[in-house]
Amino acid sequence: MLGYLNHLPMKKNDFSERNSHHLNTGRVFVSPIRSTPVLEDQDFSWWERLSISALGLIICLVGLALLSETLSPGNFLDTIFQEKFLDPIRAESSSDGSYNQINTLSYNFTLILSVISIAAILRKLGIAASECTIFALLPWVIWASLGEVVEDASLFGPSLEAWFVSPGIHFQGAIWVVFSGFIASLAAKSGNSSDDRIWVTGAAIALITFQTILFLTSLQEGRIGTPMENHLNLWPVAIFGIIGIFVVILFHPLMEKWSSIEQGIFQVGIGGCIVLYGCLHSYIQMMLKLFESGQISTLIMIDKSSLLRTEHGIYVLIDGTYVFDAFHPEALFWTLVVPALVLIPVYLFVGRPNLQKLRNCKISVPGLLPDGISLSDYEKERTQFHDNMESLTWKAILASPIVLIAMYGQAVDGIATGIGLVEYGYQEKHVLSSAVIEFFGTAYGFTVLKCFIGMVVWWFYALQRWEYRYRHLRILMALALMTVGLAPGLRDVWRMALGV
């Protein structure tokens, strides 16, 4: 998987040079006659400008709402912002809150605008876009889900817990990604050409150490004055922080072909995941020791959600004896392993062979047009290039990391929701999900719908053809589809497996 990132995107004039070669040899893939001009990377289309303006307006409105809270509390804008957005976040940080129609639609609309705007800005800045960049970002999806579970377990202190509630966790994760990439690029520039990767790894170690200290401090703050105060051992957090540093060092030799930004983002993300698992490891140890010592009342005070889950909670009473029933590792198999067992053969026997055929036809990325050709010209031209793209892309796309992981994320979310609600007694908080479950009459109806959405993701990327200037948008759209599925799905399965 790491070696897969060796693939580099096509240079700007590769297509025109290759086209010229084919013209000389009589093998014309695409007609050199163009009727539709192609915008330069530095130019924004009208809908990109509209998205950037709309996103800027939303940011200004949020800033104005926060400012008005200080200058004129209780005004119309402040009231709406507090009731519809901030109050649900506060409720979620103190217990299991819920969403409403206004904030759900607002978050989704903002996500769409962010994807379009960020893709346009990345293209204008000249940042490379590779399908396998998604592997550098994948640890941050896991990081977000682990952080939410740590918050669900009430481990963080008041000053940090609100930052690990959806959707704030995703904005925080985005800030971490940008900051990690920025620090990695500075670190690479500080070294010479032979050792810049060492500097990037050193910067990643510094950021992982910072996360370890930050989470340790917050856990210490969070346990004071709670039933966990004399039972939560924080040493595992420090130990797993050290383990995270060693893992990053072990990954260093395997990342020779990664860019400095990709390397830094991946290393900080994977190290942060290990630190957050250290927080959950402390929680697991505490719960086991409390049960072994017979402190059932303390267990209930720590995990209040067990009172709602009755027999699915911390313990069950069998023949007059308490039996510990908090951890359910089988949920990991049904939620994470089963979808992988379905998609891996699809990748091996359908996607990969057809991707190789496509590459033999000089097409490296299925669905992505070469630089310099517009979508309208491609659709009008019936050449060998067009025929190869159309006949092979719909199967070759199943070897694309961005498509496979997005499909996997949707399946994970669907299965986790189904078994979480039906088998383990959890409750649905999202407005749209609740409506779907009510329509089908069972949570497994949501599972079927999410698996169907995964198929829609494949269908969309199988049919869609992307101009080269939209290469960033193509990847970020898949990343968004993966995140909205995989992040909540992982959060659900971690909670089920750990009894949180």
- Minimum mean pLDDT among 35-39, 139-143, 345-349, 489-493: which range? 35-39
Pair (273, 352) in one structural domain:
no
Domain that holds residue 235: 131-293
Pair (412, 335) in one structural domain:
yes
Distance CA 356, CA 370 (A): 18
Q: Is residue 320 part of a domain?
A: no
- Minimum mean pLDDT among 82-96, 264-278, 485-499: which range? 82-96
pLDDT class of 156 with cuts at 50, 70, 90 = very high
Q: Is residue 298 part of a domain?
A: no
Tokens linked to 222: 């969070």
Pair (370, 429) in one structural domain:
yes
Q: Give the contacts of 499 (CB within 8 A, at least 6 positions apart).
A: 287, 303, 306, 313, 314, 325, 326, 327, 328
Domain-ending residue, one of 102, 127, 152: 127
Pair (71, 143) in one structural domain:
no
| CA distance to 55, 58, 67, 79, 81, per residue, from 71 (Å) | 24, 20, 6, 13, 15
DSSP per-residue letters across 31-79: -S--SS----TTPPPHHHHHHHHHHHHHHHHHHHHHHHHHHSTT-HHHH
CA dihedral 277, 278, 280, 282 (to 10 degrees): 170
How many domains is the chain built from? 3
Q: Is residue 100 part of a domain?
A: yes
For residue 162, pLDDT over 90 is answered with no
Q: Is residue 31 part of a domain?
A: no
- Annotate 459-472 with b (16+ C-beta within 10 A) or e (fewer): ebbbeebbbbbbbb
**Are the C-beta atoms of 225 and 240 separated by less than 8 Å?**
no
Tokens linked to 433: 């999900």
For residue 85, pLDDT over 80 is answered with no
Pair (256, 361) in one structural domain:
no
Domain-ending residue, one of 240, 270, 293: 293
Q: What angle do CA 359, 481, 173 make, to 5 degrees?
A: 110
In this structure, the number of other CB atoms found within 10 A of the CB of residue 146 comes to: 22
Q: Is residue 323 part of a domain?
A: no
Distance CA 498, CA 149 (A): 9
User: Closest Cα to residue 472, out of 134, 194, 237, 222?
Assistant: 134
pLDDT of 70 reads 79
Pair (269, 414) in one structural domain:
no
pLDDT of 97 reads 55
- Minimum mean pLDDT among 90-104, 362-376, 406-420, 447-461: which range? 90-104
pLDDT of 168 reads 75
pLDDT of 432 reads 80
For residue 495, pLDDT over 90 is answered with no
Mean pLDDT of the chain: 83
pLDDT of 16 reads 40
Residue type, 216: L
Pair (135, 66) in one structural domain:
no
Domain-ending residue, one of 127, 157, 180: 127
Pair (144, 273) in one structural domain:
yes
The continuous run of DSSP H or E covering 377 comes out as helix 375-380
Q: Is residue 322 part of a domain?
A: no
For residue 368, pLDDT over 90 is answered with yes
Pair (398, 263) in one structural domain:
no
Pair (215, 230) in one structural domain:
yes
User: Closest Cα to residue 365, out of 336, 399, 315, 337?
Assistant: 399
- Minimum mean pLDDT among 97-101, 446-450, 488-492: which range? 97-101
Question: What global pTM score does this model have?
Answer: 0.82
Q: Is residue 314 part of a domain?
A: no
Pair (100, 139) in one structural domain:
no
Pair (102, 156) in one structural domain:
no
pLDDT class of 308 with cuts at 50, 70, 90 = very low
In this structure, the number of other CB atoms found within 10 A of the CB of residue 259 comes to: 21
For residue 489, pLDDT over 70 is answered with yes
Percent of the chain topping pLDDT 90: 45
Residue 93 Cα to chain centre, angstroms: 21
CA dihedral 106, 421, 292, 333 (to 10 degrees): -90
Q: Is residue 312 part of a domain?
A: no
In this prediction, residues 361-385 reach a mean pLDDT of 87
Give the CA radius of gyration of the chain: 25
